[in-house]
Structure 1
Amino acid sequence: MASTINQVTFDARDGYALSLFWSAVTGFTEHPDYPNGPEDEENFIGPGGERPGLLFINVPEGKAVKNRLHLDLSPDTTRDEEVERLLALGATVFEDHRKPDGSGWVTMLDPEGNEFCVERSEAERTKA
């Protein structure tokens, strides 16, 4: 027997705003029958609005410590182009682990301070 991951859940001060950020990052969308809204306590996005996806739940407290779980992103473009795109969306660089030989990753923070990593793209990894 096994379990299926239904969603990855984020506690958020503003789950709606965070769902919009992550929608822009991933291309995930809300379910067409269950649209997200700023007044909603929960906001879901997934591939084509389906599961598995990301759920953002409003909570009163802010983030206090490092995430024990984080997402690793593999971009369609280059890692460096993706980092620039994410910066324009409102992310910040937390730790830069890029190496002169092109390997490594960048740890970033989403608008609420959740860590995530941007790795090299599959094309960049196969060139190495």
Structure 2
Amino acid sequence: MKFFVKIATDPDIDPVKCVVGMACAAQAVTAGHDVDVFFAAGGVRHLEPGQFEKMAKHSDVDPNLMKGMMDKLLEGAKLHCSFGSVASVLGKKEGEGALIIPDDKLAWEGPPQVIELSAAADTVLVY
């Protein structure tokens, strides 16, 4: 099956929802599915260095758990981010190498790709 997982929740606002979204995406990869993960809006904070440690300070989220899920996504999913969200939320842009995912492992995209990816998926999950 083809899964499209959009993570748009700010981990500073709802870290538990963010953990669930990452866990579901990682589980889909583990189960052998074709997975696209798109970070948008406040969800781009997942890509900010130090964010997982910040989540641990404000909740019971283990940063190693989050890093493990991100590693799973890096090895088995196609990762996308909203270039507009990264610019407005994080003040960063493509090519700066400012995110925890190397630029060459991340597709910098926008609304047209969200529509394409969701239309092509068998299952769409939004967190």
When the two structures are superposed, what TM-score results if normalisation uses the length of structure 2?
0.30
Larger strand proportion of the pair: 1
Greater Rg by CA: 1
Q: Which has the higher contact order (CA 8 A, sep 6+)?
A: 2
